Amino acid sequence: MLINKNLILLNSKSTNREELIRQLALLAYKDGKISDIEDYIKAVLKREAEYSTAVGFGVAIPHGKSDSVIEPFLAYASTEGIDWDTPDQKPVDIVFLIGVPEKDAGSLHLKILANLSRKLMKEDFRNSLRTIKTSDELLEFLNKSELGF
């Protein structure tokens, strides 16, 4: 699994997307998934500047391809809702941060993004995420969801 307890941030108090991206990147750095946190954050923010990774329905999937990523990972945060330049103008409260090494970026990156997006398009999946209270609950839910990674 690409995600573990160390990569989960429930009820983040972040007030903007850069702050939340930094919080999640720090978790990945502390967990040994990233070697250079600033380089990785720069890659994610560059992608955000090109086109917002908010997909609507209160969901954002920021991601970055960087040589600073040692091992592919998925980090998760729930928030009270922050502005993310969303297509539907609704605040984001569910965030999955994806990190993949530049050399593996192609197929792995797309597989993670596609599988996650497919699940997040379902209202019951999003509603279930919004009721989760602990890291253990989240991991159990994601394992049962058959995300394919």
Q: Any idea which residues carry the catalytic annotation?
A: 63
What is the DSSP secondary structure assignment for residue 79, as one 8-state letter? E
In 37-101, which ranges are continuous DSSP H helix?
A: 37-50
Contact criterion met (CB below 8 Å) for 58 and 117:
no
Q: Strands of 43-141 (E only): list them.
A: 54-56, 59-60, 63-66, 73-82, 92-101
- Please, how many CA atoms are within 13 Å of residue 21, restricted to the half-sphere of its CB? 27
